[in-house]
Structure 1
C-alpha cells in the first residue's frame, strides 16, 4: 500500500516507497501536485475519517484518510506544526474498503510493528549520543527552525533545549549562518563566529537525503579561538619531537662509515679495501676476521654504504651481548603471547628490521650451536619465522659476520658448525692487527687527534717525535681502539698543544717519570696539573697501620670508592691481557661474560 503524511502547512513530511516509485515512473506527477490533490481530497469528506479517490498519473486509487488528534512536533512564536492527515492508497483500484475500525487496527499494527520498534530504539541511542557529545551541536530544518539542541550547546549559551526548539536560529545564536547554509547548501568548515562576545571556531554542514536538503547541522569546534593556537603550538612540539625520534632511529639504522673512513697506507689493508669495495654491490655473505679493535665493524659499515643496499637499514647485533634465552626473539622477533612479558602487538626481529638492507652479526662465534642452525636456515631459505608464530616470512637481507676468534679451530673443536662456516665464508676479510702495520700509526694518530679536537672542543694537539716513536714501538694488543684511548687520555692531560712522552701511559715507557705504584699509569703531568684522579686517591694498606693514619682524609676510607676503583683497574688489566677479547677477559676475571658487559657500561670503559 501507499502512505502519504502531510503537516498543517499542507507540506509532505512522509511518503512510502510505493508512492516514490510512482513519482519515479511518472514525470508529470510531483510532490507539490500530490500536496494539492491531498488538500482538495480532504474537503470532500467529514472530519476524522474519509474515503475517496486520488488520481496519480494515469490511474485512480481508492483512498482512506485518517486525521489524528493534533500533536505538535514543532512550536514557535510564528506557527505551530502538527500532522494534519495520513492518507492510505490501495495498490488496486477495485479493492474493497474496510470499515473505520479495520483501518485503525491496520494503522496501529503498522505503527507498533517490530521494525518500527527497532527504529525507535536506534533513534533513542542516536539522541543519547547527540546529547552527550563533547562538541556543541545544533540542527535546524530547511527553513532555519531549531529541531535539536544538545547539552553542550545548552552549557555554552546558558539556555535549555526546550526553550529554543521550534524557534528560528537567528533568534537564539549570535551571528549564525545556518539558515543561509540551508539556502545555499554549501558547507562552511572552521569559520570564526562571535557568540556572546567570544570568538569561537564553528562548522556548518548541510544534511541531505537523496540529494534533497533536510536540515543543517552547526558545531562549535573550539569555544575559544586561543585554544586553536595553543593546540597548534603543542602539535608543533610533538611533531618536532617525532622528527627527532625519526632522525635518531634513522641514524641508528644507518651505516656511519664509508671506505674513505678507513685510514691506511699499509699494502695489505689497501688490498682488503679493494676486495671489500668490489663485493659491496653484491649480495654475498661476508666474514670478517680480526683481533678486537682492528676495525671489523668499520669494514662492515663501509661494505653496506658502498652498495645498492645503502638506502636500506644497517642493523648491528653483538651476539655476545645478548643472553642466550633472548637471542632467538631478538634476531627473529616474536608474536603476541609468545612468552610471559611479550608485547601484545608482537615485535619484529633484527632480520626483519634489516629487510632490504644489511645485518652485521658481530662476535658470531659466541652464538650457541642451536642458534647457529637457525641462522644457517635463514641463509639457505632467505626466510624467518617469529617465536610463537606459524608463518614464514621472506626477507632480503645481506649478512655480514665478524669474529675475533680462529673460526677454523672452533670448527675443528666442534664449537662452530662447519656448514654455517662454509655459508659465511663466501668473501673473507682477514684484518691485520696494528702491530703488523706500524706504518699506519702516524696517519691514524693524526686523524684521531683531529677527531678529538672536535669531540672535546679543544685546539688540535700534535705528537712530539719522541711520543710518536713510543707509539710506533708498542705492540698494541688493543689495536686502533687502544690507540684512540691512549691519545684521548694524552689530550686531556697535556696543558699545551704538544703531546710528550710523559702524557702517555706507563705501559708505553718506563722513562717518562710515571709513578705506577698502584698499576694505574699515573704520570708526573697528572701530579703537576693537580688532577684529582682515582689513582691519586688510592693509598697503601700499610698507611692504615702507621702512626699517621689519622691524618688520612675521610674520603680515602670510602670502601665503595675503593672497590669501584679496584674493579675498574682489574677490568682494564684483564682486557689488556686478553688482547681486547671480552670472553677471555671475563674468564680471567672469573665472571660471566654478560656481567663483564654490564660493568663495562657501568664504569664507562671503552674496550
Structure 2
C-alpha cells in the first residue's frame, strides 16, 4: 500500500472541503496533505487498500458540485520543490538556506559536494560547518558582499568566496539568509577564462635554424613534466613566448597561466602580489584579505620573468614554495598548499650573482632544474628570412598593406646587422619598413637601423666614465648615510632608485663594509 494523490475539480461552494474530508476519513484514510484553491483541491492519503481507495474515490465523485476526480503523481507544492531543486542543482555555486539561528534548511548539490557532507548538511548549523563569525552575525542584518573565507572540510582546509542575502518573513522580520559560496579555485578558473591572453603553441614559433630546432625539441620534451624550468637568454629572444608554449603543451594547459614581471613590481608590493595577505594586514588592504598570484595559479603555471630582480627576503619565501609547495599569506600563520609549475626567466648571469651573494645559491639550484637557453638572433641569422616574412604578414593585416617580399639588398641589410635587441628589435624594424614601403616590396632604404656604434653592445668611453661616476656617488652616499634610505635622502632620489642602482652596479655590503 502506497501513498495516493488525487485532484478534485469542483464548482466552488461553502463546505466543499468539509464534505470531502468526511468522505475520506469515513473510509479510514489518513489525510497527509491537503492543498486548496478556488475550483480545485489536491489530497494525499496514506495506508488504504486498493478496494477502499476505489470506493472512496467513487463516493467523492458523488459529492454535490464535484466535477472530476483524477489521480495525480505529485501535489503542486511537491512539483514546485522539484523544480526549485532542479534549478538549484544546475547552479555551479554552493547554496545554503538557513534560519535566523543559522541552521541549514535547504542546500543544493554543489554545496554538499564542496563541503563533503552530502544531505547531512540539512539541520547542521553554520558554526558546526566551520563558517566564520562574520557570516553568523550577518544573518538578517544585511547583505554580505563577496568575502573570502577559510573552511575546514573532510578534504582539508578550503578557501571559498562567500556571499549572503538576508531573508525576511511576512512581517519584515529577519528569518534567516541565503548563502552562496564557491571554491576559490573555481573563481580563478572563471577569471582566467575571461581574461586569459591569446596563448601560442610550439607550432607557432617561427624558426629555420638547427639551433632553434634543438631548443624547441627540448622544450616540447620537458613541457610534459612538472619540473621547474629556467629560461636563459638575452632580452628579446622570446623567453615568454617559450613559457606560454610550454604551458600549452603541458597537462596544465586548461588551468591558469600567470605572468609576473618581477622587475616591474616595486619591492614593497612584490611579496603581497606573489603570496597574498590576510584581512587587516596593512592600511588599504582589501577586506577579507587577498590571494596571491601563486594561489591564483593553482593547478596551472606561473611565469616569473626577470627572476634575478627579486629581493632577498622574497627569495626566501619563493624557495619555500619550490621546496614544500606551501604559501603563507602576509599576516597569516597558516600555510596553504599550492600545486603550481614554476617557469622562471632572466637575461642576467645568475652564477655571478650567486658568487656575489645577491642571489641565493639554494634558490638558484631549485630554479635551474631544467635549464633552457635561447640563442640570440646574431647566432642564428638563418632564422631572419622566416621571421621577417612572418612579421610582414602580421603588419600587412594590421596596417592594411599588400607587401609581398623583401628585396635581396634589404635582406642583406638585415643579415649584416648584429641585432642587440634580438627578435623584438627585428619586429620593430619590419614594422617601420612596412610603414615606409610604397609598393609590394620592402627596399633597402626602408630598412632603418641604428648606426653601428649605437648598435654595439660595449658602452662608449664617455658612457663608461659616467657610469663609474654614478657608481662612486652611490657608494659614497651609502658610506656617509650608513643605510639605503639615508643614502637616498643625501642624493635626493627615492629609496627604490638607490636599490636599482645597487643592483645595476652590483654594489653590496662587501663593497664598503660600512653600511647595512
2:358 match: 415
Runs of 4+ aligned structure 1 residues displaced above 4 Å come to 26-31, 140-144, 245-249, 575-579, 590-595
1:307 match: 250
Q: Secondary structure at the residue paired with 1:423?
A: helix
1:497 match: 440
Q: Secondary structure at the residue paired with 2:353?
A: helix
Alignment pair present for 1:284 and 2:227: yes
Q: Secondary structure at the residue paired with 2:303?
A: strand
1:401 match: 344
Matched length: 304
Provide the C-alpha distance between the structure 2 equivalents of 1:379 and 1:295, rounded to a whole number of angstroms.
24
Q: Secondary structure at the residue paired with 1:315?
A: strand
How much has 1:247 moved relative to structure 2?
Answer: 8.6
1:426 match: 369
2:260 match: 317
Q: Which of 273, 289, 295 is the aligned partner of 2:216?
A: 273
Change (3 A) 1:141 1:453: same
2:269 match: 326
Q: Which of 392, 395, 410 is the aligned partner of 1:452?
A: 395
Change (3 A) 1:438 1:593: farther
Provide Cα deviations, 1:137-178, integer angstroms capped at 9, x if missing partner: xxx99679xxxxxxxxxxxxxxxxxxxxxxxxxxxxxxxxxx
Q: Which of 362, 381, 393 is the aligned partner of 2:324?
A: 381
Q: Secondary structure at the residue paired with 1:321?
A: coil
Relative contact order higher in (CA < 8 Å, ≥ 6 apart): 2
Change (3 A) 1:185 1:348: same
Tell me, yes or no, if the aligned pair for 1:318 and 1:363 is still in contact at 8 Å. yes
Alignment pair present for 1:367 and 2:313: no
Aligned runs of 1:48-197 on 2, under 5 Å? 186=76
2:293 match: 350
Provide the C-alpha distance between the structure 1 equivalents of 2:449 and 2:230, rounded to a whole number of angstroms.
36
Tell me, yes or no, if the aligned pair for 1:254 and 1:313 is still in contact at 8 Å. no
Provide the C-alpha distance between the structure 1 equivalents of 2:197 and 2:328, rounded to a whole number of angstroms.
25
Provide Cα deviations, 1:205-254, integer angstroms capped at 9, x if missing partner: xxxxxxxxxxxxxx9xxxxxxxxxxxxxxxxxxxxxxxxx9998426436
Provide the C-alpha distance between the structure 2 equivalents of 1:355 and 1:271, rounded to a whole number of angstroms.
31
How much has 1:461 moved relative to structure 2?
Answer: 4.0
Change (3 A) 1:475 1:141: same
Change (3 A) 1:331 1:487: same
How much has 1:458 moved relative to structure 2?
Answer: 2.4
Aligned runs of 1:565-584 on 2, under 5 Å? none
Q: Secondary structure at the residue paired with 1:272?
A: helix
Change (3 A) 1:27 1:464: same
Provide the C-alpha distance between the structure 1 equivalents of 2:314 and 2:196, rounded to a whole number of angstroms.
24
Tell me, yes or no, if the aligned pair for 2:429 and 2:449 is still in contact at 8 Å. no
Provide the C-alpha distance between the structure 1 equivalents of 2:330 and 2:298, rounded to a whole number of angstroms.
18
Provide the C-alpha distance between the structure 1 equivalents of 2:189 and 2:378, rounded to a whole number of angstroms.
41
Aligned runs of 1:189-208 on 2, under 5 Å? none
2:414 match: 471
Provide Cα deviations, 1:485-507, integer angstroms capped at 9, x if missing partner: 01001111222121112212252
Tell me, yes or no, if the aligned pair for 2:403 and 2:439 is still in contact at 8 Å. no
Tell me, yes or no, if the aligned pair for 1:316 and 1:361 is still in contact at 8 Å. yes
How much has 1:455 moved relative to structure 2?
Answer: 2.5
Alignment pair present for 1:436 and 2:379: yes
Alignment pair present for 1:487 and 2:430: yes
The alignment's C-alpha RMSD in Å is 3.9
Provide the C-alpha distance between the structure 2 equivalents of 1:341 and 1:247, rounded to a whole number of angstroms.
26
Q: Which of 221, 233, 236 is the aligned partner of 1:293?
A: 236
How much has 1:371 moved relative to structure 2?
Answer: 0.5
Structure 1 spans left out of the alignment, 5+ residues: 1-9, 12-25, 32-139, 145-183, 190-218, 220-244, 510-518, 520-572, 596-607
Provide the C-alpha distance between the structure 1 equivalents of 2:194 and 2:446, rounded to a whole number of angstroms.
35
Change (3 A) 1:263 1:366: same
How much has 1:456 moved relative to structure 2?
Answer: 2.4
Provide Cα deviations, 1:389-418, integer angstroms capped at 9, x if missing partner: 222111110000000101111111111110
Provide the C-alpha distance between the structure 1 equivalents of 2:319 and 2:308, rounded to a whole number of angstroms.
13
How much has 1:382 moved relative to structure 2?
Answer: 0.4
Tell me, yes or no, if the aligned pair for 1:288 and 1:403 is still in contact at 8 Å. yes
Structure 2 spans left out of the alignment, 5+ residues: 1-13, 16-25, 40-73, 81-169, 171-187, 471-492, 498-516
Change (3 A) 1:358 1:27: same
1:257 match: 200
TM-score (norm 2): 0.53
Structure number with bigger Rg? 1
Provide the C-alpha distance between the structure 2 equivalents of 1:424 and 1:480, rounded to a whole number of angstroms.
25
Q: Secondary structure at the residue paired with 2:258?
A: strand
Provide Cα deviations, 1:233-281, integer angstroms capped at 9, x if missing partner: xxxxxxxxxxxx9998426436612111222222222111111111111
Provide the C-alpha distance between the structure 1 equivalents of 2:494 and 2:434, rounded to a whole number of angstroms.
34
